[in-house]
Amino acid sequence: MRYDADGITTRAGRAGRWLAVTLLTAAVALSGAGTARADDSGETEATEAGTAFRTATVIDQGRRATASASTGDYLYWVFPAGAGQRVSAEAEVTLPEADTRTGPVTWRLDVYDGLRRHQSCASGRQSATAQEADAALTLECAPRAVRSWADPWSDTPLPGAYYLRLSVAELPERDLGLPVSVSVEVTAEDAGGSVAVGGDLAGPLLPVGAAGTVSAEAADIVREEERDGGRDDGVYLAAVPEPEDGWNGGWWNDRWLWTAGGGLLGALAALGGYRLTRPGRGA
């Protein structure tokens, strides 16, 4: 039996080329699985803000909302967020004329989940101070990615409604009541398979809707229960719109690509190793 050194070298070269092509294909596939952003058309959807959690104005992802208010007011909006999304809220405050202000003012942007638990900002400028000469300031808060399931004791962000609160944290007392105009926008992107977990909530964390804002699905359930002579107090009459991929997110994420790519690379590595070490076909 003879070993063909040239044949082994040729086989090694072919195996190396196959591995290189496979790695390049996997890299292209993974880079193609970019973030899925919500509609960012910028169309104005709301022109007012609530003054408490229960009166928060509903806004959708990717739509800018505006409001006129007085310095010192607490302004509230509520928006949806589904599992696997990483949301980012941005607020711009147009301040009163400089000659009407007597000192610096500090504004703050906070995010709360459907249970009204405060969610810390993983990134963004949550608080900012404007001096008397400043005409506007911008705030941003990006909480942690929303997960589809969590332990009861955890404060992990879960699918459902999220409250956005814009307020003044510090200002001269004489500046209370000065008029301001604000605009807010919430965008969302796909957080990827790194936040995918093995469970789903039975239902999203949603507030009870205000009068006249009952969703069609909830209204059908209520009518059916009334006909049967009963009523389920667990039904949420929410006006918050459902995200495009649903509250629990879509079934697809980049973890599938990593799993398939890893299996393919392992199979090719085994095949290449076998071709490198098998004997030549000579007598």
**Residue 193 vs residue 36, higher pLDDT:** 193
Task: Look at residue 245 in the predicted model and tell me its pLDDT.
Answer: 78
Pairing of strands 75-81, 57-58: parallel
Token reading at 194: 């790194």
The DSSP annotation for 218-249 comes to HHHHHHHHHHTT---TT-----PPPPTT-TT-
Tell me the CA distances in angstroms from 95 to 101, 179, 222, 249, 260, one per residue in order.
Answer: 9, 8, 46, 39, 53
- Residue of 188, 189, 119, 185 lying closest to 156 (CA atoms): 119
Average pLDDT over residues 178-184: 96
**Residue 64 pLDDT exceeds 90:** yes
Confidence of residue 260 (pLDDT cuts 50, 70, 90): confident
Residue 167 has pLDDT above 90, yes or no: yes
pTM for the model: 0.68
Tokens matching residue 3: 């070993």
Taking alpha carbons only, the member of 65, 25, 28 closest to residue 43 is: 65
Of all residues in the chain, what percent carry a pLDDT higher than 90? 42
Least confident span in 40-44, 53-57, 199-203: 40-44
CA 195, 200, 205, 209 torsion-angle sign: positive
- 73-100: per-residue pLDDT in tens? 999 999 999 988 999 999 999 999 999 9
Q: Which residue has the tokens 């408490």?
A: 52
Q: Which pLDDT score is estimated for 169?
A: 94
Least confident of 68-72, 115-119, 152-156: 152-156
- Label residue 9 exposed, middle or buried (CB < 10 Å: 0-12, 13-18, 19+): exposed
Residue 277 confidence class, pLDDT cut points 50, 70, 90: confident
Q: What is the CATH number of domain 53-244?
A: 2.60.120
With CA atoms as reference, report the closest residue to 94 among 66, 73, 121. Answer: 66
Contact of 141 with 205, CB cutoff 8 Å: no
pLDDT given at position 104: 95
What is the structure's pLDDT at 173?
Answer: 93
Nearest Cα to 254, choosing from 27, 24, 21, 20?
A: 27
Q: Domain map of the chain by residue range?
A: 5-33+256-277, 53-244
